Structures are given as structure tokens and as C-alpha cells.
Amino acid sequence: VNQILLLLLVLTVCAILYNKVHKAPSALKNEAVDLDSPEEMEEEIPVVICAAAGRMGAAIAAISSIYSNTEANVLFYIVGLKNTIPHIRKWIENSKLKEIKFKVVEFNPMVLKGKIRQDASRPELLQPLNFVRFYLPLLIQKHEKVIYLDDDVIVQGDIQELYDTKLAPGHAAAFSDDCDLPSTHEMVRSVGMQNTYMGFLDYRKQAIRDLGISPSTCSFNPGVIVANMTEWKHQRLTKQLEKWMQRNVEENLYSSTLGGGVATSPMLIVFHGKYSAINPMWHIRHLGSSPDAHYSEHFLQEAKLLHWNGRYKPWDYPSVHTELWENWFIPDPSGKFKLTRPDS
């Protein structure tokens, strides 16, 4: 009996020693796998910005402001036309922005053929890059979630906060509602801007009335977008946007309306009732609507993102709050892009 007990004791000790020797490396291996898994790695934040001829300094200032105010792992997708790409690449690589992670993406304007109705009142709104936001899933392949920003913005907050915006199930995008911030309403009224669908769609047209959208419905601004690429593709939203572009060519549904929103109007139709909300402080707008209307200094300091939408851009003259924008501007090493100032 004693010999049997001794044998069992020896076998038990051997089993314990075997487990310690052979199982420990396996546990360490699992830990290493966990550390390297996508869940543990720092998430990449893709930010899409267009670099148009004549306003590349805008894209540079926007990128500079984002990069300087975050520790997040940002990957910039800089979208341009073929003839402008060498300029923006040289600007980045020969400035302090050479440390950023970026990819230059060429946009082919031929995808817009037959889809844009000419509008002499605001020809700048017909520039091909204004429609890049319609084609995000075709330009950005590997990301589930993407931020799109107009070039005439600067970011004063941490872009990670904007990226963390929650999208409701079934929503492909989040926008800023034009009625969301009472402090901007006075600015809107003072410059005659519209914040309802009436300002963007021509309700005299049967096709617009058939949508069943009240003209007093609050509009949204697509200059800042947080988008879910999987949901966007699933709902075939690019095709829907193109459909309304083509209908406008045929029926003039919105191009001559007060809002002048040749890129905004299709989005108002397609995303009506199907978008999530961005924190209002992450899209303070209308800074480019008037050369005279100003926000309070305290309000601007609290803002996370400033948008000079409208005719009066901060790199031109006249414009307002240009000092906030110039904080992030980096001069063009080639000297091609110059600021317009009263004494220039």
C-alpha cells in the first residue's frame, strides 16, 4: 500500500512540474497574440480632406490643426485632381507636416459627367472635389468608419472625440443639424442664410413635393461627416446621390435655389431622417457667411471645430476671425499659394 501511495505522489508531482514547464510558454504566447490583436492596437483614424487648386492652403491649415491637437493615430487621405497632387505632396514633405501619415488619392472628375447642372451664380460650387463626399466608399477601401472634412475648417479639439461619435443602427452618417445650436441662429439670420429644406430645394417642383418632406424641416451641413462605410455601401447611397444629381440636371430641382447647395441638396434628400447627430460644438459654422458678422471670443475658444462655409474665406479678404485660422496655416514652400490681406 505504501509503495502504491508513493507512486501516486510521484506521478502527481511530475504532472504538476510538466504543466508548469509546458503550459507557461503557451500562456505567454496567448498574451503576445492579444497584445498584437486589432483590439489592443491603437485604432487608425482616417480623415478625408480635399486639396483643390487655388485653395490648397486651406487643406494644409486643416491638417495642421488636426495633427497639432491630438495624440491619436490619424491617417490623412488627401484627395486632389491629377494636376494638383504634386503641389500638395511637395508642400507636406517640405514643411513640419512631413511627420504626418498621409495618402494622396486622385479623384477622377469623369464620374460626374452628365450629373452636374451648370449654375453661373455660384460656379465655385461646381468644382469636382465638392462631390468627393458622395464617393467615400470608392476612395477609401479598408476602413469601417471615416471622417470627412471640408477644407475650410480648423480643428481646435481632439479629433478622437469626433471619431467617437456614435452612429445609430442603420445610420450611415452623422451630421450637424442646422437648428442644433441657438447661439448660431442670430448669425444665420443676420446674413440671410437658411436652415431649413426650403432654402435648398425648389418646392415648386412636383418631384420635391412628392418626397413628403416639410419645407420647414431643419437642414444639416455635410461639411463635417462621420460615416460608416459598410452601411453606406449596403444602402447604395452613392447610387442614390447620383440619381438625384441626374434628376436635377433634367428638372432643375435645387441648383438655383437660395442655398446654392448643389452638393448639399442631394444629401438632404437621401439622408433625410436617417442620420445621427454630431456634437454641436464640433461644427461651428457660417464664419464665411459675412465679412462683418462675428462670434464672441469666448464662444470661439470653446468651439472644437470652426467652419468658414460661405463666400468669405479666411485666406482671402475680407473675412472674419482670420487670426484663428492663421494660427495653423503653414506657408507654401513653393510660394505659389499666398494669403490675400489688406496690405498685400
Question: Block means of pLDDT (10 residues each) for the chain, length 344 residues?
Answer: 61 55 32 36 89 96 98 98 96 96 96 82 76 95 96 98 98 90 59 76 95 94 97 98 95 70 91 96 91 89 95 95 97 96 84
pLDDT at 41: 52
Number of H helices and E strands in the chain, helices first, is 12, 9
What are the two backbone dihedrals, phi and then psi, of residue 332, each rounded to the nearest 5 degrees? -75, 115
Give the number of C-alpha atoms closer than 13 A to the C-alpha of residue 339, restricted to the C-beta side.
17
pLDDT at 28: 25
CA distance 133 to 222: 8
Instruction: Give kind and range of the element (H or E) at residue 152.
Output: none
Task: Give the total residue count for the chain.
Answer: 344
CA distance 211 to 270: 10
CA distance 279 to 165: 8
What DSSP line would sit under 13-66, residue for residue? HHHHHHHHHHHHHHHHHHHHHHHHSTTTSPPEEEEEEE--TT-HHHHHHHHHHH
Tell how far CA 132 is from the center of its chain. 11
pTM for the model stands at 0.86
CB of 91 within 8 A of CB of 61? no
Tell how far CA 82 is from the center of its chain. 22
pLDDT at 17: 54
Q: Find all residues with CB under 8 Å of 85, minimum gap 6, and list them.
A: 51, 104, 106
Q: Find all residues with CB under 8 Å of 299, minimum gap 6, and list them.
A: 183, 284
Q: What is the sign, positive or negative, of the torsion defined by CA atoms of 194, 197, 203, 207?
A: positive
CB of 265 within 8 A of CB of 290? no
| Closest by Cα among 49, 52, 53, 65 to 326 | 65
Neighbouring CB atoms inside 10 A of 275's CB total 23
CA distance 118 to 126: 7
pLDDT at 54: 92
Quote the cell numbers at residue 139: 476612395
| Closest by Cα among 160, 167, 121, 175 to 144 | 167
pLDDT at 26: 28
CB of 76 within 8 A of CB of 47? yes
Bin 286: left if φ > 0, else alpha if -120 < ψ < 50, else beta: left
Question: Which domains are seen in the chain, by residue range?
Answer: 45-178+220-235+267-327 (3.90.550.10)
